[in-house]
Structure 1
Amino acid sequence: MNSTVEQSGVGADLRRWRRARRLSQLELAALADTTQRHLSFIESGRSQPGRAILIRLAESLRLSLRERNDLLGKAGYAPVFAESGLDESALRPVRTALEQILHGHLPYPALVIAPYGRVVAANDAVEVFTEGADPELLAPPVNMLRLMLHPDGMARRVRNLPEWGRHVIENLRARARRSPDPRLDAFTEELAGYVPQTPVGPDHLGFSVPMRLASADGELRLITTLTSFATATDITLAELHLEAFLPADQATAELLRMRAERRRIGAATSTVGTPPADV
């Protein structure tokens, strides 16, 4: 009886994912190097899928590593992909590389973000984002997406919030369509409630415009790039992405360099003025 339930569960999941990817049984079978008949039997629960065919189907469906493990688990198989903690020795080389990338991106802001916007690492330049924010939004673990769009966070300083905020929301909804997730849906709707509604005109092209961020030193115009670990075989690493901000004009570049120099001088002054610690 348990075996039948497992077969039915994994078959239903495969059918749901196939339809979400808008693939026919014939198309998915060809991608996974199997037959339409075999796939039909798996989806209907009439055939117990082997581990190898499930892995091929999951890859053909472009499932995340976590989703692939879940699919294997529903069929009664052990997970294939590990999920390490960021502080574990297995990911020490990755942490070192990320720290170097973050430092190398200075004087421009860069962050490493986990699912749902949780910040796991950042360089010193991100202080431009925390300027004037409610302390509650800065309590660890900081959620960067909420900080950006919340009215008590960056939102009151983003001068083109309707356009820029809509771009953020559309990206999240696109991600939810690729990988349905009720938690992400709820989080996206929360964030959407912070973004003012404005009509989309006929000239709207759907691409991101620079974020116009007011600061104590003047307006900054920033564009963002996202980098992920496409070949990762560890779930933790695969779910991280590096968000790096770049100046959209020379004035912004100069302002960010000025802020970096001010931080450097402030840190040096603080170090000189600190009495030696007792040994």
Structure 2
Amino acid sequence: MDQPIGELLRDWRYRRGLTQLDLALQADVSARHVSFVETGRTIPSRSMVLRLAEQLDVPLRARNRLLLAAGYAPIYPERPLDDSGLGKAYEALQRILRGHEPYPALALDRHWNLLLANNAMNVFLDDVDPALLEPPVNMMRLGLHPDGFAPRVRNLAQVRAFLLPRLARQVAGTGDPELSALYEEVLAYGDAFGDHGEAPVPDPADIALPVRITYRGHELCFFSTITTFGAAFDITLEGVAVEAYFPADEATTRLLGDLRR
């Protein structure tokens, strides 16, 4: 059974750690009005639903659900990334990934599924279990699975200690059951590597957590950045992230240049 609008808004307020007064102050409404909405004594207007959702940083997909629960039509579209209506965004992603070569880069959806990748990503995808490359390819699974490229990550404990809390924050922030299931799955992979201790402390000289991976007898060292679409008004685009890897040392820079040639 679908939850009423008041319960949904209260759940999001709890998730964000806000009191009714906190939310009221942020949304410039009275705490009494917030209380009446949450208890069902008042059905909020369409604009009020959107105002409260904005202050609660509710994802666009969930905003549509809030609107439906309040009796209004959803306003945020969701289309496949290769839909003609998203042609410009798709082309932009391709240009970003190609322009980053000879360094690896990929585009992911909100569940860590691979959408696009450039040719340089082969240094990560090389020699993994073909079953893990069956669509949809999940990069969180691929990176931490014993049959993925995890055995080639030299600082796997550090990488796991970074990625798992990041995924846990996503689960807490979105309440997404698919992300929750993915978290429980990859958390269990640690046993395959005897991961029972604490991860080494990162080197203070590093500008970001490095990823050290072996590739055909060579060791490559990367750091990464994440780019998202600003002010996206499409559910698909809101969930897209581009992860770009940069060489963290001269040896990696030279080797990637040689591989491209």
TM band (smaller chain): over 0.9
Counterpart of 1:131? Answer: 126
SS for the counterpart of 1:117 is coil
**How many Å separate the matches in 2 of 1:252 and 1:149?**
22
Report the number of matched residues.
Answer: 256
**How many Å separate the matches in 2 of 1:128 and 1:201?**
24
Asked if the contact 1:224–1:244 (Cα under 8 Å) also holds between the matched residues in 2, the reply is yes
Q: Determine whether 1:163 maps to 2:163.
A: no
Counterpart of 1:199? Answer: 197
Q: Which runs of 5+ in 1 are unaligned?
A: 262-279
**How many Å separate the matches in 2 of 1:204 and 1:244?**
20
TM-score using structure 2 length: 0.92
**How many Å separate the matches in 2 of 1:127 and 1:203?**
29
Counterpart of 1:270? Answer: none
Q: Determine whether 1:39 maps to 2:37.
A: no
**Shift of residue 21 of structure 1?**
1.0
SS for the counterpart of 2:44 is coil
Q: Determine whether 1:13 maps to 2:8.
A: yes
SS for the counterpart of 1:47 is coil
**Shift of residue 205 of structure 1?**
9.3
| 1:188-267 matches, cutoff 5 A | 188-195=183-190, 196=193, 197-200=195-198, 209-261=209-261
Higher relative contact order, structure no. (Cα contacts within 8 Å, ≥ 6 residues apart) = 2
List structure 1 runs of 4+ shifted beyond 2 angstroms: 195-209
Q: Determine whether 1:95 maps to 2:90.
A: yes
**How many Å separate the matches in 2 of 1:217 and 1:103?**
26
Counterpart of 1:265? Answer: none
**How many Å separate the matches in 1 of 2:19 and 2:110?**
30
Counterpart of 2:177? Answer: 182
Letter in 1 for 2:143: M
**How many Å separate the matches in 2 of 1:205 and 1:80?**
47
**How many Å separate the matches in 1 of 2:196 and 2:208?**
16
**How many Å separate the matches in 1 of 2:199 and 2:27?**
43
Counterpart of 1:273? Answer: none
**How many Å separate the matches in 2 of 1:74 and 1:189?**
30
Bigger mean CA deviation after superposition, 24-33 or 35-44: 24-33
**How many Å separate the matches in 2 of 1:205 and 1:78?**
51
Asked if the contact 1:167–1:208 (Cα under 8 Å) also holds between the matched residues in 2, the reply is no
Note closer, same or farther for the CA distance 1:203–1:219 as it changes in structure 2 (3 Å cut).
closer
**Shift of residue 115 of structure 1?**
2.1
Counterpart of 2:106? Answer: 111
Q: Give the structure with higher Rg (CA).
A: 1
Note closer, same or farther for the CA distance 1:203–1:244 as it changes in structure 2 (3 Å cut).
closer
**How many Å separate the matches in 2 of 1:133 and 1:241?**
23
RMSD: 2.0
